[in-house]
């Protein structure tokens, strides 16, 4: 591959092949897993020094691509095949396989910890919520912990503010942010990166019944801030607010949060780029460099204080928005109200998390996994700034 060193060339070759050969076997009657169309790949290099570098690139590309595909498998499972409990079980099994520490809070645990926003979103469901916390102590607790926080809404009907039918079937993908976080943690552990990372995933579905939370309700989250509910279909920011507050209590020193948060980001950027909103310029610069190195394309959106007017409330500290105006910016700034001064970058991947438009045959894409691994690498070796 022209312009790349041997390690990077090998990495991107292997990553691209594994990604391109991905197929979700699905649930068709009688369907069995097919033999891979390419059973093996041989990369040839006659120079011993270059061959060693290529071998390292192959290991990196394989770990990242297989972890992204693991995340894609989660994303492609429908809501009846991936409840919050099932997602937590998958995370726990993966953590045991790769050496991550894992803690899972059930409904009682969430109530004990004060995760009232997550519990409110879950009220209309017969399925329990879960908060999944994974830890990788690659730096032995000596550095500033990076936190990756993901939205895991396993199915989003909109709740009482119910979505139209044609905008609902693909809301099984509303947990792709959580999948990206979990997939990234898998790769970070496989690569044994010398960096401390905390992952927090808030998981639930969002359904209407007689017990569901309602527009007009006021709820106090783990951060201590109160939220007036204007739309139960703006639920992702609620569960993320609690997950962010939990990550900070767990020691997070800098944060990336990722979610399929708003339809507005698709209107603004289509299925080509994801939206980025940041509360700290220096932290954004590092995150954006990692995205570029990973080959995942984002676009920074503004964070002017004027946008705060979009979720002002006369009853509570804020509303959960739900307005169409600047919805992606609004969602990011809402999240920042729950992190204090901790540097945070929000990824809104609603337009890029699953195939649409020019990627209609891909289903879940695994977007975010590569950027987060690249970021962890940069934090582990800030002078080297390696690519992923």
Q: Which letter does DSSP use for residue 171 in this model?
A: G
Sequence-distant (≥ 6) Cβ neighbours of residue 212 within 8 angstroms? 123, 124, 159, 160, 232
* CA–CA separation, 316 and 14 (whole Å): 51
Residue 76: left if φ>0, alpha if ψ -120 to 50, beta else—which one? alpha
Pick the catalytic residue: 72, 130, 237, 378? 237
Pick the catalytic residue: 59, 111, 163, 225? 163
* CA–CA separation, 229 and 215 (whole Å): 5
Tokens of 12: 């991107």
Tokens of 38: 């390419």
* CA–CA separation, 17 and 186 (whole Å): 19
* CA–CA separation, 184 and 63 (whole Å): 10
Q: Is 237 a catalytic residue?
A: yes
* CA–CA separation, 207 and 345 (whole Å): 29
* CA–CA separation, 23 and 72 (whole Å): 10
**CB-based burial of residue 41 (10 Å sphere; 0-12 exposed, 13-18 middle, 19+ buried)?**
exposed
SS3 of 336-370: the string is: HCCCCCCCEEEEECCCCCECCHHHCCCCECCCCHH
Q: What is the DSSP string of 79-91?
A: TTT--HHHHHHHH
Sheet holding 218-220, edge to edge: 218-220, 226-228, 318-319
Sequence-distant (≥ 6) Cβ neighbours of residue 211 within 8 angstroms? 123, 124
Catalytic residue set = 163, 237
């Amino acid at each position: 591959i022209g312009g790349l060193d041997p390690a990077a060339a090998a990495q991107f070759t292997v990553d691209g092949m594994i990604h391109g050969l991905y197929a979700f076997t699905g649930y068709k009657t009688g369907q069995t897993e097919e033999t891979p169309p390419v059973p093996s790949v041989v990369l040839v290099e006659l120079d011993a020094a270059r061959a060693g570098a290529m071998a390292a690139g192959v290991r990196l590309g394989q770990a990242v691509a297989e972890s992204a595909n693991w995340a894609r498998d989660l994303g492609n499972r429908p809501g009846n095949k991936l409840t919050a409990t099932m997602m937590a079980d998958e995370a726990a099994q993966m953590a045991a396989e790769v050496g991550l520490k894992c803690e899972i809070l059930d409904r009682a645990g969430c109530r004990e910890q004060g995760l009232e926003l997550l519990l409110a979103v879950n009220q209309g469901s017969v399925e329990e919520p879960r908060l999944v916390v994974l830890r990788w102590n690659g730096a032995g607790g000596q550095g500033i912990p990076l936190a990756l926080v993901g939205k895991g809404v396993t199915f989003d009907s909109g709740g009482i503010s119910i979505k139209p039918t044609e905008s609902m079937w693909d809301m099984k993908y509303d947990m792709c942010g959580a999948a990206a976080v979990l997939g990234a943690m898998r790769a970070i552990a496989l690569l044994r990166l010398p960096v401390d990372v905390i992952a927090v995933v808030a998981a639930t579905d969002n359904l209407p019944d007689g017990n569901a939370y309602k527009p007009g309700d006021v709820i106090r989250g783990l951060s201590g801030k109160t939220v007036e509910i204007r739309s139960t279909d703006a639920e992702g920011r609620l569960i993320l607010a609690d997950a962010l507050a939990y990550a900070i209590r767990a020691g997070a020193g800098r944060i990336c949060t990722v979610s399929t948060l708003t339809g507005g980001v698709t209107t603004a950027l289509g299925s080509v780029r994801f939206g980025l909103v940041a509360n700290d310029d220096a932290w954004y610069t590092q995150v954006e460099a990692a995205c570029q190195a990973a080959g995942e394309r984002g676009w920074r959106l503004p964070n002017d204080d004027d946008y705060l007017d979009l979720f002002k409330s006369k009853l509570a500290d804020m509303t959960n928005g739900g307005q169409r105006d600047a919805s992606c910016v609004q969602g990011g700034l809402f999240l920042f109200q729950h992190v204090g001064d901790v540097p945070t970058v929000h990824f809104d991947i609603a337009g890029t998390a699953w195939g649409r438009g020019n990627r209609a045959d891909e289903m879940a894409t695994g977007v975010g996994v590569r950027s987060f691994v690249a970021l962890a690498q940069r934090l582990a070796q800030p002078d080297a700034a390696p690519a992923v």
